[in-house]
Amino acid sequence: MLDADFFHRWMTVTAASVDREAERLTALDSPIGDADHGTNLQRGFRAVRDALDKEPPATPGAVLTQAGRLLISTVGGASGPLYGTLLRRAGKTLGDAAEVDERRLAEALRAGVDAVMQLGGAAPGDKTMIDALVPAVDALGDSFAAARDAAAEGAVATTPLRARKGRASYLGERSVGHQDPGATSAALLIAALVDASADTEAGGE
């Protein structure tokens, strides 16, 4: 079972991954975006980490709801409302339960991904974070590791796609040949589930 500590670690590990990969995310965002994805997400997830550390929420749902709210208010780019909606909707779906199983988590993330698609109007194949998130959620029923791999593959698979949403869509054919920054950061978020659960099994922090 996954408790509030697990979800707290998930966010902490994500914040560390985003810190580590911020330059790469911004570099990916330079040819087809406005070169701020890494710094924007870094600001957002640092705010999440600091707030959760200061006052750890009591339930899995509360961790994700608070994280989502903070991302919306601190990121400053489109990834803020998109990631914020993903986590907030997932958190609301988890409700007040003190612990949830992997299946509940998968259902909640599915609801979050649906909300993101509704908010941004993106579908699979549009060269967005959805291209990493949908295969990840599909694979969550197997294991966190399977979801991590599916998300990473989904992110790489955005390279030949032509962008149909966001600023990159104005570039048309010129967006082809670049890996999507949003799908790349989404893969970091999913990969962090593995590290957060590895810490549980090791009995560590």
Q: What residues make contact with other proteins under the rule CB under 8 A?
A: 34, 36, 40, 69, 72-74, 76-82, 84-85, 88, 119-120, 166-167
Residues 6+ apart with CB under 8 A from 4: 56, 57, 58, 59, 60, 62, 63, 98
By C-beta, is 8 or 37 nearer to other proteins? 37
By C-beta, is 6 or 61 nearer to other proteins? 61
Cα 117 to the center of its chain, rounded Å = 13
For the chain, give the DSSP string: -EEHHHHHHHHHHHHHHHHHHHHHHHHHHHHHS-S-HHHHHHHHHHHHHHHHHHS--SSHHHHHHHHHHHHHHH--STHHHHHHHHHHHHHHHHTT-SEE-HHHHHHHHHHHHHHHHHHH---TTSSSTHHHHHHHHHHTTT-HHHHHHHHHHHHHTTTTSPP-SSGGGGGGGGGTTS--HHHHHHHHHHHHHHHHHHHHHTT--
By C-beta, is 13 or 168 nearer to other proteins? 168
Q: How far is the CB of 94 from other proteins (least distance, A)?
A: 17
Q: How far is the CB of 96 from other proteins (least distance, A)?
A: 17
By C-beta, is 17 or 74 nearer to other proteins? 74
Q: How far is the CB of 87 from other proteins (least distance, A)?
A: 11
Q: How far is the CB of 33 from other proteins (least distance, A)?
A: 10
By C-beta, is 60 or 166 nearer to other proteins? 166
By C-beta, is 141 or 172 nearer to other proteins? 172
Q: How far is the CB of 145 from other proteins (least distance, A)?
A: 31
Q: How far is the CB of 84 from other proteins (least distance, A)?
A: 6
Cα 110 to the center of its chain, rounded Å = 12
